[in-house]
């Protein structure tokens, strides 16, 4: 079969490589110049978006929904992405409106495009603890949770230093509980396969210190019969059918004794959750994606009911680039050694192959995540990989297990 992946930064290239290893014809298009050499020497690249009509097209991220919809109208089979999906993720208030329309509870939330109004709201509110969530070009590291006085101080700081880069922001009531992601797969008309849950740690350093990142580690497990699914992501089914959405969709929610409170949508691959989940299924990756886009998927077997991953990085991570690779990638070309016998347990991100050896391709310094059934098994592999200045959290075995156990109490 033929597969064509359209990517912003190549995050899904490792999945496409797995499909290629199943003896499929695969091509990768990467839009962002910073990441153009990701998976050089490992996958066939395309410099433009020219998939054959019989190719299964996979979008691994948000932000190109207009391209996805154009391809669908031209008769292509497309997994992931749409203008609707982009808006669902990028427009926070639209996402909250969809939650409310679907009957999903949302914490008290108000949007602002000016910091003075936002500060006044916090000052006058009876809410004790807030979450600040910016929209625009600024990274997720500016998201911040604090009680009233600390939040006011933080908002004044953000206003002074970053207001020109923030289009709008949301002030949301902070709800105590465990944060759980719930995901399902949709083939354009119906839910297919079993849903899954993820608990994820975002803070960069041990003890939840440092900036928030995309992911430092997670546990993913099959979630059939979960009340969290029923009270959350499953309620969007009618809207997905109306939109003819094909792909995966995740609702990130805080869960406690009162129920499920929606926080944000992820209608795309989750990193590192999707590579972790795919390690659990008992079928070829190519068949998994082609069955969903062709409408042939009903259910699929799992070799494992649960899987864990820990992310491996090097400096300058967790920087987020705005310019070219040389500005943000002083470690481009760094060799990665002693990974070969663990390669099946590694999902690589910013790598390329040169002289039959893997090295950092440039970018922000995200090298890989190690994926195993248990967190301690991830650590035994991370300790053996030779990589200058390697970075990973070392406390995730207890942290993730505690989060999963708490999630189970509300399921």
The domains of the chain are located at 2-86, 108-173
DSSP letter string, 170-234: EEEE---SEEEEEEEEEESSSEEEEEEEEEEEEEEEGGGEEEEEEEEEEEEEE-TT-HHHHHTGG
pLDDT score for 320: 72
d(CA 201, CA 93): 25
**Stretch 390-394: mean pLDDT, rounded?**
97
pLDDT score for 27: 98
Residue 139 has pLDDT above 60, yes or no: no
User: Residue 328: which pLDDT band, with cuts at 50, 70 and 90?
Assistant: low
**Stretch 172-195: mean pLDDT, rounded?**
97
CATH class as words, domain 2-86: alpha beta
Q: Are 152 and 91 in contact (CB under 8 A)?
A: no
Q: Could you tell me what percent of the chain has a pLDDT over 70? A: 96
The pLDDT tens digits for 80-132 are 999 999 999 999 999 999 999 999 999 999 999 999 999 999 999 999 999 99
User: Residue 138: which pLDDT band, with cuts at 50, 70 and 90?
Assistant: low
The pLDDT tens digits for 189-241 are 999 999 999 999 999 999 999 988 989 999 999 999 999 999 999 999 999 99
pLDDT score for 261: 97
Expressed in angstroms, the distance from the first to the final Cα of the chain is: 40
CATH class as words, domain 108-173: alpha beta
The pLDDT tens digits for 262-293 are 999 999 999 999 999 999 999 999 999 999 99
pLDDT score for 136: 62
Residue 57 has pLDDT above 80, yes or no: yes
Residue 358 has pLDDT above 60, yes or no: yes
- Extract the tokens encoding 132: 């600040």
**Stretch (H or E) spanning 409:** helix 396-409
User: Residue 325: which pLDDT band, with cuts at 50, 70 and 90?
Assistant: very low
Whether 2-86 and 108-173 share one fold: the answer is no
**Stretch (H or E) spanning 140:** none
Q: Could you tell me what percent of the chain has a pLDDT over 90? A: 88
Q: Are 281 and 300 in contact (CB under 8 A)?
A: yes
pLDDT score for 39: 98
d(CA 191, CA 292): 10
pLDDT score for 221: 97
d(CA 46, CA 36): 10
pLDDT mean across residues, the chain: 94
pLDDT score for 324: 46
């Amino acid at each position: 079969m033929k597969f064509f992946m359209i990517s912003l930064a190549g995050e899904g290239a490792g999945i496409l490589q797995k499909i290629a290893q199943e003896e499929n014809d695969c091509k990768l298009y990467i839009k962002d110049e910073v990441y153009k050499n990701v998976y050089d020497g490992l996958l066939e690249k395309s410099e433009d978006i020219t998939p054959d009509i019989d190719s299964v097209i996979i979008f691994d991220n948000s932000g190109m929904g207009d391209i996805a919809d154009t391809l669908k109208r031209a008769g292509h089979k497309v997994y992931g992405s749409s203008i609707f999906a982009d808006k669902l993720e990028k427009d926070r208030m639209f996402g909250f409106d969809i939650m409310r329309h679907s009957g999903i509870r949302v914490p008290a939330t108000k949007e602002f495009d000016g910091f003075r109004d936002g500060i006044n709201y916090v000052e006058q509110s009876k809410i004790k603890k807030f979450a600040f969530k910016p929209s625009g070009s600024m990274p997720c590291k500016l998201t911040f949770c604090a009680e009233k006085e600390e939040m006011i101080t933080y908002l004044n700081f953000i206003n002074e230093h970053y207001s020109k880069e923030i289009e709008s922001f949301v002030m949301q009531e902070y709800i105590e509980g465990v944060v759980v992601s719930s995901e399902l797969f949709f083939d354009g008309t119906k839910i297919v396969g079993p849903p899954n849950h993820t608990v994820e740690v975002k803070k960069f350093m041990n003890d939840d210190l440092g900036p928030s990142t995309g992911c430092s580690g997670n546990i993913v497990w099959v979630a059939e019969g979960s009340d969290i699914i029923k009270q959350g992501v499953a309620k969007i089914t009618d809207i997905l059918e109306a939109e003819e959405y094909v792909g995966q969709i995740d609702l990130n929610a805080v869960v406690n004794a009162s129920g499920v409170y929606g926080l944000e949508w992820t209608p795309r691959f989750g990193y590192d959750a999707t590579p972790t989940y795919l390690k659990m299924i008992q079928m070829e990756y190519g068949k998994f994606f082609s069955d969903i886009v062709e409408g042939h998927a009903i259910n699929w077997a799992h070799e494992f009911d649960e899987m864990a991953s820990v992310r491996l990085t090097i400096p300058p991570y967790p920087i987020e680039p705005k310019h070219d690779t040389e500005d943000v990638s002083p470690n481009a070309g760094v060799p990665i050694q002693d990974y070969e016998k663990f390669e099946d347990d590694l999902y690589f991100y910013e790598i390329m192959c040169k002289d039959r050896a893997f090295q950092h391709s440039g970018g922000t310094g995200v090298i890989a995540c190690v994926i195993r059934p248990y967190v301690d098994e991830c650590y035994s592999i991370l300790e053996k990989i030779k990589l200058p200045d390697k970075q990973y959290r070392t406390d995730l075995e207890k942290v993730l297990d505690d989060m999963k156990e708490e999630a189970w109490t509300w399921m």
